[in-house]
Amino acid sequence: MLKTTIAGSLPKPRWLAEPERLWAPWKVPEPELAQAKLDATILAVKLQEDAGLDIVGDGEQARVHFVHGFLANLDGIDFDKKTVMGIRNDRYKAEVPTVVGEIRRKGPVHAREAQAARAHTTRPLKFTLPGPMTIVDTIADEHYGRREDLAHAFARVLNEEARELEALGVDVVQFDEPAWNVYMPQVAEWGMAALEEAKRGLTCTTAVHICYGYGIKANVDWKGTLGDQWRHYEETFPVIARSSIDQVSLEARNSRVPIELIRLLEGKDVLVGAIDVASNQVETPQEVAATIREALRYVAPEKLFPCTNCGMAPMNGDIAYAKLAALAKGAALVRAELAG
């Protein structure tokens, strides 16, 4: 019980990409880049093991960005036709590629790093993919017209990828949907249906990650406008509770999310964010334990998985892995309390 894990991304080694920034360009040229990505993936797995995590991930080491890393091996997308558009309801601007035709996979996207991670750990392995709604919110569209139609097109290729990842030995496939904390009514209207299509036929554990974003200035500033209570989950959790998704990853540490909202996820595994990714202050094990104890008021121990609030890609590597060590130690403290 209280098995620890990460939300998704981890900092890349300084020799692979520019540190402490999103969309960081690669430092390693082709043809050496492909092997460098795999080396970084294996290193991330081993560092998670060293930190004491129970369920490890690839750390998204082979992707420039969690969304665009998946888009890179799809037909129907013109990466030369760039558009500057507002992301997450215009919270910040990004230069994005454009959908110009039918979305299809050219072939496996993340198979190589999944195989590398699987070959170098005996621990349960989680692999993350961007969710359909979040992809739609991170790309320009000149072909499908309706956001829900584009979402279902991406859901179909995500399902192909997820099935292959499961066949390679991935234990948990997680779909990242930060857009679900922005477009809440659309989650019920078409977002959940697209996610169900993306996970169709999977027999491994499935998860959805919904957070308030990376610890970058645009997200921190946005949080400052949300008031004393962040109740976005109140609208989406009942929709998820009725779904076939097994796990929900959410933000809790240093947030203004009323922790009692997780009662709305009855029957689901809860990946509670006990590590703040918007602060360089490393949590103490006792602080992690306090967050876990608070969540245990509403979730049974066997259904609770201590986690990070969000991805850690823009963070300093030493700080990020120190936070993961604190996560593991804090969970161990509470396990000991429950056992005693």
DSSP class per residue in 239-251: HHHTSS--EEEE-
Q: Do the domain assignments include residue 149?
A: yes
Which pair of tokens denotes residue 9? 């991304």
> How many domains is the chain partitioned into structurally?
1
Contacts of 331 (CB under 8 A, 6+ apart): 2, 3, 4, 288, 289, 292, 306
pLDDT at 215: 66
Which pair of tokens denotes residue 292? 């876990």
Reported as half-sphere exposure (CB side, CA atoms, 13 A), residue 334 has a value of: 29
Q: Do the domain assignments include residue 89?
A: no
**CA nearest to 194, candidates 157, 142, 226, 163:** 157
Dist. CA 44–CA 117, nearest whole Å = 9
> Which burial class, exposed, middle or buried, applies to 44 when counting CB atoms under 10 A from its CB (0-12, 13-18, 19+)?
buried
Q: With a threshold of 0.85, does the pTM exceed it?
A: yes
User: What is Dmax (Cα atoms) for the chain?
Assistant: 60
- Residue ranges making up the domain that contains 292: 32-75+105-339
Contacts of 42 (CB under 8 A, 6+ apart): 116, 117, 120
The DSSP letter of residue 6 is -
Q: Do the domain assignments include residue 48?
A: yes
3 state SS of 27: coil
Q: 157 and 130 in contact (C-beta within 8 Å)?
A: no
Which pair of tokens denotes residue 263? 């009662």
Rg (CA), the chain: 19
Q: Do the domain assignments include residue 42?
A: yes
Element (H, E) at 227: none
Bond into 31 cis (ω within 30): yes
Contacts of 290 (CB under 8 A, 6+ apart): none
| CATH label of the domain that carries residue 301 | 3.20.20.210
Q: Do the domain assignments include residue 150?
A: yes
pLDDT at 92: 66
pLDDT at 284: 98
pLDDT at 95: 86
Q: Do the domain assignments include residue 22?
A: no
Q: 234 and 195 in contact (C-beta within 8 Å)?
A: no
Q: Do the domain assignments include residue 274?
A: yes
Per-residue pLDDT tens listing for the chain (340 residues): 999 999 999 999 999 999 998 889 999 999 999 999 999 999 999 999 999 999 999 999 999 988 888 998 999 999 999 888 877 767 767 889 999 999 999 999 999 999 999 999 999 999 999 999 999 998 999 999 999 999 999 999 999 999 999 999 999 999 999 999 999 999 999 999 999 999 999 999 999 999 887 767 777 787 777 788 888 899 999 999 999 999 999 999 988 889 999 999 999 999 999 999 999 999 999 999 999 999 999 999 999 999 999 999 999 999 999 999 999 999 999 999 999 8
Element (H, E) at 235: helix 233-241
Q: Do the domain assignments include residue 302?
A: yes
Virtual torsion, Cα 285, 1, 198, 26, nearest 10 deg: 30
Q: Is 230 left (phi over 0), alpha (psi -120 to 50) or beta?
A: beta
